[in-house]
Structure 1
């Protein structure tokens, strides 16, 4: 049997097991307590919570299937949107910041056949990804010879200033816990891009609680020497491949892209 790639999912299977399991336990408890004549309010509360948990479990399962590579493929579309906004000939070195399970890394390797790619992530037990998983995915996709994976912190990368010809990142910056101000993570990403190099970053840029006024931030970046900076906000409302049921605060809300040339 042919070995398959494993790019993980925004909705981890462990969460689905917990939701369905919890719903089953509560609903069984409600039925048993009703049969045994336990205080009606206990039966009612267990039943209502169980039903609500079951509804949430079904919703999350639908989202899981939509996000999954090889199924709904929504995330593949999100990655392609990012790559489409990277104005690069593919000659040189590219950095993928927060590569996760290397889905975007592999897409870049296939889009830019002459590129050498460094993919960095913090990984760790709290995430559903690992370096070995990335290396295996790259091997199975036939691009492992052009990709180097390494552990690192996006808030303070070990790379020298102006190391890479291009940089990408997808839904990572807001997750960087070592940086209180997420704008600083963007600036750190730009630091390692060569003058004249290009970048394409997607994140929850339209969430003001995270990034404030993005028009103001774009002006700030230009004032600091970034030659071309473009921003498109609220992408979940503009990309037709994103279904309405994932446009929620707990899934995708305030998605934006920041791209240009240093």
Structure 2
């Protein structure tokens, strides 16, 4: 990773001050209540809550370091897995849906040096990513001349049908709040891929609450004219670079990849 880049992290750093600060305050308040106010039960409750917050903070920090580019590199390895499943010659235009800080877009630019790429994202205040951050990262990586970054909504892409030769997306579709049925976000992504073009999407596809029966969904996509569709579910159990402590419902659970040719 270029030392001038900032690709962020799936675990935002802004969560650590309240976790560690709040835990320390509660842990200190416990003995104070016990000694000063003679509230033994309250003291124990506060101390236990403080320990829980500190333990959770330590767990999340470990996940943060595992995901981080240039450290554990798990985010980079997830991107690599996605790109390996994109059967594309790199000639033409690629769309990265929900590009975040541009990490996957840049990886695709390096993997396909003849391609022109578009990275689109909703961004927004709740996310630790921004358009200018993407542009700085692309410039630092030496690929800015082939990438355009645009704001958009993955549920309503502002591109005509069959605009791109390839499309990718990583852990985005389940976050799209403007679509109640996340399968519609997949269909919208496929809409802008040219006939014969390729796609590779990773998301929480194995979570039935989000996507229902994926085998049935694959059959629906085939019936709707998608030439080739492959699905691999529960990837967190199959990829050796995903450590056991992140295979949890609150971190990574039900990860899958949907890829093929339109």
TM-score tier by shorter-chain length is over 0.9
Q: Does 1:195 align with 2:191?
A: no
Equivalence for 1:113: 113
TM-score normalised by structure 2 residue count: 0.98
Give me the whole-angstrom Cα distance separating, in 2, the residues matched to 1:24 and 1:208.
39
Partner deviation per Cα, 1:73-92 (whole Å, 9 max, x = no partner): 00100000000000000000
Give me the whole-angstrom Cα distance separating, in 2, the residues matched to 1:114 and 1:30.
62
Superposition map of 1:57-206 within 5 A? 57-206=57-206
Runs of 4+ in 1 over 6 A off after TM superposition: none
Give me the whole-angstrom Cα distance separating, in 2, the residues matched to 1:118 and 1:18.
36
Partner deviation per Cα, 1:109-141 (whole Å, 9 max, x = no partner): 000000000000000101110001000000111
Give me the whole-angstrom Cα distance separating, in 1, the residues matched to 2:248 and 2:194.
37
1:3 Cα deviation after fit? 6.0
Q: Structure 1 regions of 5+ residues with no counterpart? A: none
Equivalence for 1:12: 12
Give me the whole-angstrom Cα distance separating, in 1, the residues matched to 2:104 and 2:21.
32
SS in 2 for 1:123: coil
Give me the whole-angstrom Cα distance separating, in 2, the residues matched to 1:32 and 1:183.
53
Equivalence for 1:53: 53
Equivalence for 1:220: 220
- Root-mean-square deviation (CA, aligned residues, Å) is 0.9
Q: Structure 2 regions of 5+ residues with no counterpart? A: none
Q: Does 1:34 align with 2:34?
A: yes
Aligned length: 261
1:17 Cα deviation after fit? 1.4
SS in 2 for 1:25: helix
SS in 2 for 1:31: helix
SS in 1 for 2:125: coil
Give me the whole-angstrom Cα distance separating, in 2, the residues matched to 1:38 and 1:108.
62
